[in-house]
Structure 1
Amino acid sequence: MTDIKPSLGRFGVFVPQMTPDQAKDIEALGYGAVWVAGSPPAELDWVEPILENTTTLQVATGVVNIWSAEVGLVAESFHRIEKAYPGRFLLGIGVGHPEADQEFRKPVDAVDDYLDKLDEYAVPKGRRVLAAMGPKMLELSASRTAGTHPANTTPEHTAQARQSLGPDAFIAPAHKVVLSTDGEKARAVGRNALDIYLGLKIYLNSLKRLGFTDTDLTKPGSDRLVDALIFHGSAEAVASRLTEHLDAGADHVPVQVLTEPANLVAALAELAGPLGLR
């Protein structure tokens, strides 16, 4: 195991949960990785069935919460998965939110301590990433991990991150999309998905640094905000917007399609051609 920058292909899939059968279909479409969202338990026992049912697809956590996932058990899980499926698992970690985590303390210090323990348990720098948006956390992501996996950001943030972190850091911004040419409908879906984030200081502060105003960020969010964070339109239009992240310096873009789970693979198939995957 080395600290070479992760190679996950240009596009991946970001989902709340993933079945092995869905993963197999997604791999066949040409996506390089699946990022499973939320704060999964430290055992990570859902990872192996996905990897077992695929051959090249990588799996990443988006992200393990440092407050709820005991670091020793996370490290044990990493090594178990790495032994069975070398080079196909990427550990994404994050600090959570003060609104949700009562143990919350200075984020940079808390993450730094967690990374110290991952070092002690020999989880390699090159197989872990940090959910980082602000300057200090981004700096930590480059010095202590392979790089950053932010969410609810824009291609402008990606460009800033690349300029700040240099060419060697791995940057994988997740981005939400709605495949609909009905702008009113797409924005309604987007606002529903963004509602929780417009109550979390970490995201609000990040978006303010990108130039969004209090008016933009007041629920349910301005059209300007929704259009920036939720790419919508035809598959071709959405693919063009997602590619802006790559043009801005991203290595890999996990795509979160806002649709029913039963429609996920069909929506990803619709996007695969315009994204250049097939």
Structure 2
Amino acid sequence: MDVRKTGIWSPELRLHHDPVEIHEAAAELDQQGWGTLWIPGLGGGDILGDAERLLRATENTVVAAGVLSIWRHPAPEMAAGHARLVREYGHRMLLGLGVSDATAARDAGGTYRPLAALGGYLDVLDAAKDPVPAEERLIAAMGPKLTALAGRRSAGTHPFLVTPEFTADARALLGTGPLLAPYQAVVVDTDPTRARATARGFLAPFIGMGHYASSLLRQGFTEEDLADGGSDHLIDAVVAWGDIDTIGKRVKAHHDAGATHVALHAISRGKGLPLTDWRHLAPLAA
């Protein structure tokens, strides 16, 4: 599956109130040349139905669930749904899988043992009537053990809130073959104060979550960096803000560090689909 070098990651492509506008936006992103459209799990819901809307609107782009929680989406349903989408739209559907956190596991009546739980989930995908091929699934891995599992049993990894230095370390763990597709938040704004405030508006809740906080601490940030929605140092490290050239340099830094693909999330102060930002970022689709 060719995800190409860059893609668009967007909660709006699931959440926006007007499905016609989502369809038109996805078609425009496809025409701009983005390799993949990523939609997040958002705590559940009909993620395959939302993916199908994007597949229907596009001709070339891959559509990726980035990512669905294994605790909220039963593996047999995902295998059957993935198979149906492949039959109808070709091999353009990538299942991203995440282990979420202990609360999600507890709410689902499970025990939070990430490696064992994810391994069992992959076993069910493998044993399904229509198995999900390893090359059409990937794992949201931020720690070394999950990264190694991703390299063995999936196309690769889709890490969240990471730096190019993390990308380099992940590539060293994965070796040369597997897909490495980091999420990269971007703010198209050259004003430092405003850009950082925009970034915090979206990222502050994630920075406070235990599993993401642990990942950031492993990357070398401090408890002080994680306080109050993230220090300027942390925000500048995990968010690319500025003009198109500045953002492009961050994308290049990930690629130089070993990324196969970079998923760009345009964080905007406005409501609705960030069409203006996507059009501004369009040169990076190439």
Q: d(CA) in 2 for partners of 1:114 and 1:186?
A: 39
1:224 corresponds to which of 227, 230, 233: 233
Q: Percent identity?
A: 36
1:173 corresponds to which of 160, 163, 182: 182
1:29 corresponds to which of 19, 27, 32: 32
Question: Residue 143 of structure 1 aligns with which residue?
Answer: 152
Q: Does 1:77 align with 2:93?
A: no
Q: d(CA) in 2 for partners of 1:39 and 1:15?
A: 15
Q: Does 1:108 align with 2:115?
A: yes
* TM-score (norm. length: structure 2): 0.91
Q: 1:112-123 to 2 correspondence within 5 Å?
A: 112-121=119-128, 122-123=131-132
Question: Residue 88 of structure 1 aligns with which residue?
Answer: 92
Query: Residues 111-164 of structure 1, C-alpha deviation per residue, up to 9 Å, x if partnerless?
Result: 111011011111110100000000001011101111001111111111001011
Q: d(CA) in 2 for partners of 1:50 and 1:21?
A: 9
Q: Is the 8 A contact 2:105 2:112 kept in 1?
A: no
Q: Does 1:20 align with 2:33?
A: no
Question: Residue 126 of structure 1 aligns with which residue?
Answer: 135
Q: d(CA) in 2 for partners of 1:77 and 1:261?
A: 31
Question: Residue 3 of structure 1 aligns with which residue?
Answer: none
Structure 1 pair 76–226 and aligned structure 2 pair: CA distance change class (3 A)? same
Superposed displacement of residue 220, structure 1: 2.2
2:224 corresponds to which of 181, 202, 215: 215
Q: Is the 8 A contact 1:246 1:252 kept in 2?
A: yes
Q: Detail structure 1 runs of 4+ shifted over 3 Å in the superposition.
A: 39-43, 260-263
Which amino acid letter does the alignment assign opposite residue 223 of structure 1? Answer: D
Superposed displacement of residue 40, structure 1: 4.1
Q: d(CA) in 2 for partners of 1:164 and 1:43?
A: 30
1:156 corresponds to which of 151, 165, 174: 165
Q: Is the 8 A contact 1:42 1:73 kept in 2?
A: no
Question: Where do 5+ consecutive residues of structure 2 fail to align?
Answer: 14-21
Q: 1:171-250 to 2 correspondence within 5 Å?
A: 171-250=180-259
Query: Residues 65-119 of structure 1, C-alpha deviation per residue, up to 9 Å, x if partnerless?
Result: 1001011111110000011112111011101122444235111111111011011
Which amino acid letter does the alignment assign opposite residue 118 of structure 1? Answer: L
Alignment root-mean-square deviation, CA: 1.5
Q: Is the 8 A contact 2:71 2:104 kept in 1?
A: no
Q: d(CA) in 2 for partners of 1:161 and 1:113?
A: 23
Superposed displacement of residue 41, structure 1: 3.3
Q: d(CA) in 2 for partners of 1:214 and 1:193?
A: 19
Secondary structure in 2 aligned to 1:47?
Answer: helix
Q: How many residues align?
A: 271
Q: Is the 8 A contact 2:213 2:226 kept in 1?
A: yes
Q: Is the 8 A contact 2:62 2:93 kept in 1?
A: yes
Secondary structure in 2 aligned to 1:212?
Answer: coil
Q: d(CA) in 1 for partners of 2:213 and 2:257?
A: 22
Secondary structure in 1 aligned to 2:190?
Answer: coil
Q: Does 1:252 align with 2:261?
A: yes
Q: d(CA) in 2 for partners of 1:167 and 1:137?
A: 17
Q: d(CA) in 2 for partners of 1:229 and 1:104?
A: 31
Structure 1 pair 104–227 and aligned structure 2 pair: CA distance change class (3 A)? farther
Question: Residue 7 of structure 1 aligns with which residue?
Answer: 2
Q: d(CA) in 2 for partners of 1:7 and 1:255?
A: 17
Q: Is the 8 A contact 1:43 1:73 kept in 2?
A: no
Superposed displacement of residue 55, structure 1: 0.9
Which amino acid letter does the alignment assign opposite residue 162 of structure 1? Answer: R
Q: d(CA) in 1 for partners of 2:92 and 2:29?
A: 15
